[in-house]
Structure 1
Amino acid sequence: MNLRALTRGDAAVAGGAVLLFIASFLPYWSVDCGNSRYCTSTNAWSTALFPVLPSIYLLGIAAAVLILVQRFQGPAAANRQVLGLRLDQWGIAFAVAALWTSVWSLGGGGDVAPGLGISAGHSFGAWLGLIALIVVAGAAAAGPLMPALKAPLVTDRPAVPYQGGYPMPGQPGHPGAPGQPQPGQYGYPAQVQDPAFGGQPAPAGYGYPAAGQPAPAPVQDAAVAAPQPTQVAPPQAGAAPAADFQPFWFAVPAPRQLAPKDNPVGAPVGEVVPGTWYLAVEQRGTALVAQLPDGSQGVLADTTGIQRG
């Protein structure tokens, strides 16, 4: 269960369901008898108003639960169907049916006995329930279509403790952090290599000719000559982890699924979505091992267009 997979549309569905539950306890039908103390009001839980409760309020709450359950299950439940429909599709159908029933139930009312000053009508519990159902049905139906409702609910960088062996950018001990010396500045070790071991001498360093003097000819010694670099093919997605890999934060431009670490062709174990920063803890060729906010890890095979943090 990944709570960060929720969208703004899902939050609107959940809020509408809570509002609908509260409205069920408020007066649905009221009778006004003037100054008489025997007239009262009743809510949707009264048996006298059956089937208002199951066909409007409980049906709308069940619709919101189905939609959120489908969202919590993530991409693993994308193809699961019940009688030919996914859970979120059933939820949208239930929400529309509850809204349709609520609209028709608001008909009627008015004067019951005009001569006695007795009148009856729907109270604010019925109208509040109608508004809540409009929110649930509207957010459920328009959520996959409107960019404002498809946006992630939480977009800040997750507070995941750093588990790598290298300091993060901006922290003490990392080149480029405030107060840290830069290459070539005072206090930073000069990158001087010994020519005897195949390195190139730095300007004004040991073994480097001074200005105006000719450079000595290189000495070829088979015992200490440096090996020539060879062309190495880039590792594939299933290759061993890179030894010099440094963990980093990244974000994706579109939702992408994560494969299991031990079986890259297996069923997805998670999903990365835009607007959230994830930690890359390992590199396998062109693929990355990403860590989700809940601590689980998976292989991201498609790394095109990712943004480094």
Structure 2
Amino acid sequence: MFVNARIATRKYLLYNCHQRFIFVNYFCVNSKKLEYDVVIVGGGHAGCEAAAAASRKGAKSLLITQSKATVGAMSCNPSFGGIGKGHLMREIDAMDGICARLCDDTGIHFHVLNRSHGPAVIGLRALIDRKLYKKAMQKEIFENTPNLDIIESTVEDLIIEEATCSNKNFTHKLVGCIIKNGINIYSPSVIITTGTFLKGELNWGGKSVPGGRMGEGPSSGLAETFARLGFKTGRLSTGTPPRLLSSTINYDKFTKQATDEEPIPFSFLNSKVGIPTELQLASYVGYTNDNLVKIVRENIDEKHSLISALNEGIKVFFLEIYDFELPDFNPE
């Protein structure tokens, strides 16, 4: 691209923890290597935790994300916790993670699951204000995470070299990554937290388009890298619930579930949650009925292409798939 240029300059916008925008020049000729102790690819929940953990260890770190504006975005479901994930959150919190603390600060509905079933299956769950959580996460990452730079770009490939060690089981080693426009970033540790963006697809009805999230492209280059290196990749499916306009809902048809009177925080560091109970919101529980199942069955052919595309053996409990697999499904 710049064969005839003596010095070619790339400018990328870096965002550091002091909220200063810095234009950094990358030179194609006689340039100093851009090096970090740790590079994190993807600015979702896992990427933010990895960046914060690397920072706590004093590592010079770089977080690469398509857009800093979406750092901390809650893509599919505005909730945290549950039987399994709630346990995982507490383990992360025990290692000084950040998501549990932020959920305590931004939660708008807290509820203990399976309270009557015994301690082995009790789980904490909370609904989170999406805007407050993203704002809190960005403040944590941008302002309170030292040793961290953030660059808006995409990783297209990994830099792999032949290993010099005598262990025949390891013939190659990772030394960095290549971002958009061919810029090399060198690091002995590259943490991949691309989530749904890794060769992601968006499906609704019978339509499927490449994407990691609505309006954002997938991470296709990395997927090709993994295939070239011999790694097997699969696909997990996550369902995004529809957003309904509150003023159009007849709440009298639902069962009201108030927030717990004394919410239990996720974080061991907190004795209480941030938003007072009286300001939190109630949830409303609804059930399927014969009319809803009838609508699903009348339109099941439109969903068949999506159902057929799922990996064999993976159960995704969308209502239409559940009904497709169990034709005698009883909504009660």
TM-score by length of 1: 0.19
More strand by share: 2
> Larger radius of gyration, structure 1 or 2?
1
